[in-house]
């Protein structure tokens, strides 16, 4: 029973990591950039959903009521819009001018953007008329069906947010599979990641494909932002830091640049964390140590399989 | 005959190193023009500059009445200029068919399926192996795929960068025969080769490039007969 419970917990956590990890990996696959500000795109998605709730469902929020179920797609649209807008601006303003700069330059820029976005939300969110202050955590709106009492399946607690998170990953992964392998733009994306110059000779606008990669990553991160809000019932300006770091770990674990690697890496990391909490006895067990085990797993994989679980064997990867 | 491609006083450099030092040449409609020269002469640099992947320091490149030096690289193929690059550069993880379809990426018309059939007719092996990842192809097969892919854009003019590189004599012959076939079907061709004999025999016109400058030009026959070419490129003395 404990095992089943931890598997459920691990799957929930892992799905969240996987949704975020895809963003690291698609961008890396195209421009070999580790977008360390991707965690903040996830955070902005959560705040985008909250803002949408405040703008369109204010009476429910103020009355402490659950939002109707049909508010969920509206919140998703709001979250995705916010994340995508930030991601596209980030690419345009910060990364594109550095396209031919030494690799360290965009990396440091990414860290700068990350801090900038956290501080912007912390300091400015509450300045928007009628919006709550975001210097500390802010309650995330509850929504009918996806919020509320958990189910009990023969002793295993199944949170509604778990169903949302895992379901979101399944739908996003299926959509992504279809997009990458069956559409013209998806094929162009694969071409750019394999050989950008030759892709140009085919008539592919590489700049446009790079934007598409950022948009895909931001969309999934926004969905993850809502999932996190539903799971924890509150959000805060620094939620992107640890989640981003874990998701990046997941992407490397799975083989950075490989979309399915990100999904597998996310799920693996989530499961390892959950199982470590429960089954490692003594001082090194329990939740205080779960991050240690997560990163220990990363180090192990990097030592014995540097290309990641699904990554191709190439010399210059990470 | 009108000039389809006119390159004038083209200078291209990599940082401080001048790789192309002011070359001029023309390709007329319906021709096969060969650009020959030894390693490092600047042949690939010239083709990559025509395709917009490199920008010239000075000079002009006019294709079909338009100055290409101001056109984005991804827009050039839709003007009717295809480039099969040095080393073939097929997309290794994509299937043969996906590679071919990418060749038609810039097109929006309905004839893509027909052209796929035409590419399969030109190289039947591509049809037999259409679902195979292109990276598992042999060198010769990859070259056929690269040429088929370039033809999928339905170009007015095709630039081939060393299509015979690393191929067996038989496969080389096959590729060169295809060049003639494509010419007969109405495609103008700019052929870059180190294999001077094969390239000049089929050429209406040829240029010899040496460390960034054109040192000799003439009809294919003239160049084949010239003492300089025979000594430098055909290993005769
Ligand atoms: N990316 C680059 N950076 C610096 N120099 C370069 C670069 N590419 C080519 N060169 C130099 O430019 C010159 C011309 O090279 P290019 O590749 O155009 O020659 P080529 O005629 O195609 O030779 P090959 O027959 O070997 O393919 C060479 O001296 C080469 O070293
Ligand atoms: Mg070359």
| Chain A hits for B76, Cβ within 8 Å | 203
Cα(B43) to centroid of ligand 2, in Å?
Answer: 5
The model's pTM: 0.93
Q: Given this model, what pLDDT does residue A121 score?
A: 96
Q: Which residues of B fall below an 8 Å CB-CB distance to A?
A: 51-53, 72-78, 82-83, 85, 89, 91-94, 98, 101-103, 105-106, 149, 153
Cβ-contact B224, B217 below 8 angstroms: no
Interface of A with B (CB under 8 A): 184, 187-188, 190-191, 194-195, 197-206
Which atom of ligand 1 lies closest to the CA of B17? 5
Which domains can be identified in chain B, with CATH numbers?
3-88+160-233 (3.40.50.300)
Contact B102 A187 (CB under 8 A): yes
Residue B100 confidence (pLDDT)? 97
Residue of the CA atom closest to atom 1 of ligand 1: B14
Place of tokens 């917990």: A9
Question: What was the pLDDT predicted at A283?
Answer: 79
**CA nearest A200 in B: which residue?**
B74
Query: For residue A202, which residues of chain B lie inside 8 Å, CB to CB?
Result: 74, 77, 102-103, 105-106, 149, 153
Partners of B53 on chain A (C-beta within 8 Å) are: 197, 200-201
The helix/strand/coil state of A125 is helix
Provide the residue-wise pLDDT of chain A in tens; the chain has 318 residues.
Answer: 789 999 999 999 999 999 999 999 999 999 999 999 999 999 999 999 999 999 999 999 999 899 999 999 999 999 999 999 999 999 999 999 999 899 899 999 999 999 999 999 999 999 999 999 999 999 999 999 999 999 999 899 999 999 999 999 999 999 999 999 999 999 999 999 999 999 999 999 999 999 999 999 999 999 999 999 999 999 999 999 999 999 999 999 999 989 999 999 999 999 999 998 888 887 777 788 888 888 888 888 888 888 888 876 544 433
Tokens representing B146?
Answer: 């690269």
Enter the ipTM: 0.95
Reported confidence tier of residue B236, pLDDT bands at 50, 70, 90: low
B75 to A206: CB separation less than 8 angstroms, yes or no: no
pLDDT in tens, B75-126: 999 999 999 999 999 999 999 999 999 999 999 999 999 999 999 999 999 9
Q: How does residue B230 score in pLDDT terms, banded at 50, 70 and 90?
A: confident
Report domain extents, chain A. 2-304
Whole-number Å distance between alpha carbons of A311 and A251? 10
Q: How far is A181 from chain B (nearest CA, A)?
A: 10
Q: Which residues of A touch B85 (CB under 8 A)?
A: 197-198, 201
Phi, psi for residue A281 in degrees, rounded to 5: -80, 170
Q: How many CB pairs under 8 A join A and B?
A: 62
Report d(CA A230, CA A224) in Å as an integer. 10
The predicted structure's pLDDT at residue B188? 97
From B13, B16, B19, B49, give the residue whose CB has the most ligand 1 atoms within 8 Å, as the site to mutate. B19
Distance (Å, rounded) from C-alpha A303 to C-alpha A297? 10
**Torsional class of A277: left (φ above 0), alpha (ψ -120 to 50), beta (otherwise):** alpha
pLDDT digits (tens, 9 = 90+) for A214-238: 999 999 999 999 999 999 999 999 9
Is the CB of residue B53 less than 8 Å from the CB of residue B34? no
Of A2, A11, A35, the C-alpha closest to A216 is: A35
For A2-304, give the CATH class.
Answer: mainly alpha
Tens digits of residue pLDDT in A167-193: 999 999 999 999 999 999 999 999 999
């Amino acid at each position: 029973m404990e095992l089943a419970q931890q598997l459920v917990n691990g799957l929930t956590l892992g799905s969240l990591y996987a949704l975020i990890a895809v963003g690291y990996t698609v961008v890396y696959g195209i421009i070999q950039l580790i977008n360390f500000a991707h965690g903040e795109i996830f955070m902005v998605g959560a705040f985008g959903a909250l803002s949408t709730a405040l703008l369109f469902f204010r009476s429910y929020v103020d009355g402490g009521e659950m939002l109707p179920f049909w508010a969920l797609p509206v919140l998703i649209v709001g979250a995705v819009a916010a994340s995508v807008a930030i991601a596209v601006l980030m690419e345009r303003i910060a990364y594109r001018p550095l396209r031919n700069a030494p690799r360290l330059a965009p990396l440091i820029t990414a860290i700068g953007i990350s801090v900038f976005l956290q501080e912007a939300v912390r300091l400015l969110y509450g300045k928007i008329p009628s919006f709550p202050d975001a210097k500390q955590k802010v309650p995330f709106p509850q929504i009918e069906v996806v919020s509320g009492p958990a189910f009990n399946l023969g002793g295993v607690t199944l949170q509604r947010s778990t169903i949302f998170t895992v379901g979101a990953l399944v739908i996003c992964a299926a959509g992504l599979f279809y997009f990458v392998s069956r559409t013209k733009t998806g094929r162009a994306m694969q071409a750019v990641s394999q050989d950008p110059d030759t892709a140009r000779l085919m008539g592919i606008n590489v700049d446009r494909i790079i934007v598409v990669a950022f948009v895909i990553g931001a969309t999934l991160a926004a969905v993850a932002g809502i999932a996190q809000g539903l799971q924890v019932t509150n959000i805060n300006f620094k939620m992107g830091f640890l989640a981003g770091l874990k998701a990046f770990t997941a992407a490397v674990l799975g083989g950075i640049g490989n979309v399915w690697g990100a999904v597998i890496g996310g799920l693996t990391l989530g499961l390892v964390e959950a199982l470590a909490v429960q089954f490692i006895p003594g001082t090194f067990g329990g939740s205080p140590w779960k991050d240690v085990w997560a990163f220990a797993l990363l180090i192990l994989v990097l030592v014995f399989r540097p290309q990641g679980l699904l990554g191709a064997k190439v010399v210059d990867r990470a | 005959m009108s000039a389809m491609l006119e390159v004038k006083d083209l200078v291209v450099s990599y940082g401080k190193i001048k790789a192309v030092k002011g070359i001029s040449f023309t390709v007329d409609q319906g021709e096969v023009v060969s650009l020959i020269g030894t390693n490092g002469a600047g042949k690939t640099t010239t083709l990559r500059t025509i395709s917009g992947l490199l920008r010239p320091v000075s000079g002009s490149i006019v294709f079909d009445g338009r100055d290409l030096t101001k056109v984005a690289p991804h827009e050039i193929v839709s003007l009717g200029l295809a480039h099969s690059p040095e080393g073939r550069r097929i997309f290794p993880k994509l299937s043969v068919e996906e590679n071919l379809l990418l060749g038609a990426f810039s097109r929006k018309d309905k004839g893509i399926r027909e052209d796929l059939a035409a590419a399969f007719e030109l190289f039947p092996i591509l049809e037999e192996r259409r679902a195979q990842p292109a990276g598992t192809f042999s060198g010769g097969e990859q070259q056929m795929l690269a040429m088929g892919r370039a033809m999928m854009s339905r170009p007015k003019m095709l630039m081939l960068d060393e299509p015979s590189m690393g191929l067996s004599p038989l496969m080389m012959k096959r590729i060169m025969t295809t060049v003639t076939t494509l010419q007969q079907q109405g495609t103008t061709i700019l052929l870059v080769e180190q294999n001077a004999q094969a390239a000049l025999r089929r050429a209406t016109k040829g240029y010899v490039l040496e460390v960034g400058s054109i040192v000799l030009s003439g009809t294919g026959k003239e160049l084949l007969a010239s003492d300089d070419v025979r000594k430098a490129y055909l290993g005769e003395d």
